Amino acid sequence: MPPDNSNRLTMCCEAEQINGPRLRPVIEFEFDEIVDDHVSMWVRLRIENSVYRTGRWFYWWNIQDFADGLARLHSELKGACSLSDWDGEEVLCLSMLDPVRGRIGVAGQLNQYVFADRVIGNGDFVFPQMFGDRAGVVVSFHGLVTDQSYLPALISGFHFFLNTSGISHRRFWS
């Protein structure tokens, strides 16, 4: 991918606060290193001055399945779709809330792999047994809402990446 921001896709959302202004969070997808049939991708949640992120590996078909799900959600105005990493763990889920207005609910889980990244050792983490052997700080969110009008740009952005990045479209079992 080129060094400009063409490898970054964004989806604007809204979130209500109790006794506060409406927030305008943004979810970003940024493609990074490609290795054969998989890619490292950052998924970020930006809310005002805070950024929460996770870097995960995705096979090309994880991205294709998500793009296809987004296309169905956009065309049928019903259902749900999710983005799962190469281990099958859901990172993001979108589901139609209001088909008349095209409002889509957004939820997700951004998991920092501190043990895999060697940021902190197992013995230094508080209650590591609660999170298994690969987890660290987990940011789960729901209650965000986006509009179906953001989907075409996402869909075409994911397809553009799949078609131009050089990622192999070979399934490892074939």
Residue-wise pLDDT tens digits, 58-94: 999 999 999 999 999 999 999 999 999 998 989 999 9
Residue 12 has pLDDT above 50, yes or no: yes
Residue 131 placed within a domain? yes
Main-chain phi, psi angles of 133, to 5 degrees? -95, -5
pTM reported for the whole predicted model: 0.83
CA distance 21 to 18: 8
- Name the β-bridge partners of 90: 84
Residue 169 placed within a domain? no
Q: What is the pLDDT of residue 115?
A: 46
Structural domain for 29, as ranges: 5-164
pLDDT band at 130 (very low <50, low <70, confident <90, very high): very low
Residue 171 placed within a domain? no
Residue 172 placed within a domain? no
Number of domains in the chain: 1
Q: What is the pLDDT of residue 37?
A: 92
CA distance 171 to 168: 8
Residue 173 placed within a domain? no
